[in-house]
DNA sequence: CAGTATCCAACGCGATACTG
DNA sequence: CAGTATCGCGTTGGATACTG
């Protein structure tokens, strides 16, 4: 049986939309998208592209501290395959390739960056909460 | 040299805050937080807890389709250690344990859910964009 | 019910080397 | 510059079995 995941949203019964049932089901394609977007390097690449508008491969390598060539390439391929990023190669020597967000990618990037910003802004609150005994060991 | 990551935000030089430099540096503690929050099951657990207010272990297992006991336990420990989730155990037989968001956890959960909602709402747009030839193969 | 412990398979991911 | 190819280790993470 084919699920209604790939149907236009308007044709999906409203009852199945009311509350997120999609991501919670293991076989929903949205799990894949979520995986790419929230992957270790996916988040950071989207953040950078949102700021920079357009970036070369080596720019991204430098900005995203710690990423290897392999993982950067793979991450960019995922994001491109999902329609979030466009790759443009200029036919010159030495090679020149640009990456930029699509309109769709711009939207996810904003979501992701919003989360990232929250973490950065609240980092000290989080680190404080961390060291606490985690409480709740006290039985009720 | 100790970085200023753990200092209260007010004491950090403004120049280092202007644009997110934290998550982009490999050794920033925020990377860890991001990892927990955007982990495969972390996202889904936060979503459920945001909706349900309070949940038992087995509730979460059932709602988060596909998660194993091991990974659910580990994810909850991460989120609890970061101060996003509280674990409350009632001393009865059979055992009864509740999980709920802290105020801090509520804030991240909203961020994460916002991203998740975006994906669910735009899934059909994404799946459409996916099949396209990814364009950009055309040299410029 | 709410986990922990153990084993093991899959793969995420970095290091290195090579190519157009 | 912008990658791909290959190797290999460490971690992730599922399945199963056991415990308070």
Contact B88 A140 (CB under 8 A): yes
Report the CATH number that the domain containing residue A96 is assigned in CATH.
1.10.10.10
Residue B132 structure tokens: 């396209």
Residue A11 domain flag: no
Backbone angles phi, psi at B22, to 5 degrees: -75, -60
Find and list the nucleotides of strand D having atoms within 7 Å of a protein beta carbon: 1-6, 12-17, 20
Q: Does residue B19 form part of some domain?
A: no
For residue B57, the enclosing domain spans 31-136
| Strand ranges (E), B26-92 | 54-56, 85-90
Q: What is the mean pLDDT of residues B96-111?
A: 97
Q: What is the pLDDT of residue A63?
A: 94
Report if residue B95 sits inside a domain.
Answer: yes
Q: Which residues are B88's β-sheet partners?
A: B98
Q: Does B7 touch chain A (CB under 8 A)?
A: yes
- On whether residue A3 sits in a domain, the answer given is no
Which tokens belong to A4?
A: 């209604």
Residue B12 pLDDT grade (very low, low, confident, very high; cuts 50, 70, 90): low
B125 touches strand C (CB under 7 A): no
| Sequence-ordered alpha helix ranges (H) in A1-140 | 30-37, 42-52, 57-63, 69-81, 103-121, 123-131
Question: What pLDDT is stored for residue A22 in this prediction?
Answer: 86
Residue A50 domain-assigned (yes or no): yes
Residue A68 zone, left/alpha/beta (φ > 0; ψ -120 to 50; rest)? beta
CA B84 from chain centre, in angstroms, equals 9
B6–A contact, CB cutoff 8 A: yes
Domain count within chain B = 1
**Which nucleotide is nearest to A93 if distance is taken from CA to C1'?**
D1
On whether residue B9 sits in a domain, the answer given is no
Residue B14: inside a domain, yes or no? no
Q: What is the pLDDT of residue B7?
A: 58
In a domain, A46, yes or no: yes
Please give the pLDDT value at position A11: 58
Write the pLDDT tens digit of every residue in A20-67.
558 999 989 999 999 999 999 999 999 999 999 999 999 999 999 999
């Amino acid at each position: 049986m084919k699920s209604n995941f790939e149907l236009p949203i308007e044709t999906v019964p409203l009852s199945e939309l009311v509350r997120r049932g999609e991501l919670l089901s293991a076989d929903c394609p949205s799990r894949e998208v979520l995986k790419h977007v929230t992957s270790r390097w996916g988040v950071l690449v989207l953040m950078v592209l949102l700021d920079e508008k357009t970036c070369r491969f080596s720019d991204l390598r430098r900005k995203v501290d710690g990423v290897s060539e392999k993982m950067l390439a793979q991450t960019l391929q995922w994001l491109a395959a999902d329609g979030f990023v466009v790759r443009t190669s200029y036919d010159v020597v030495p090679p020149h390739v640009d990456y930029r967000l699509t309109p769709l990618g711009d939207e996810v990037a904003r979501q992701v960056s919003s989360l990232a910003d929250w973490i950065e802004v609240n980092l000290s609150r989080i680190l404080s909460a961390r060291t606490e005994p985690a409480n709740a060991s006290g039985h009720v």
